[in-house]
Amino acid sequence: MADSPSPRGVLNKSDLIALLKGAAIAGAGVALARLAEGLPSVDFGPYSDVIAAVIMIAINAVRKWLGGQAPKP
């Protein structure tokens, strides 16, 4: 992947991949929070947004843990 930042107004491939990964992580966190909220036995009440944020952080932590360090060129 390109190490140099993309010029203003343009996204390079690595920027686009990072953007899509972030969107997927955020979407997965919200989807899991909504799924958990929908269960009849679980009610987060006013803490739904906090739970969604915690789940997003947890998903990102798991992704980084599974990914490990990138090899150095």
pLDDT at 71: 65
pTM above 0.75, yes or no: no
Q: What is the pLDDT of residues 1-50, one digit of tens each?
A: 445 677 787 888 888 888 888 888 888 888 877 877 665 566 678 887 88
pLDDT at 72: 64
The CA distances from residue 47 to 3, 16, 19, 24, in Å, are 39, 32, 27, 22
Domain boundaries, the chain: 13-67
pLDDT at 45: 82
Report the Cα 49 to chain-centroid distance in Å.
15
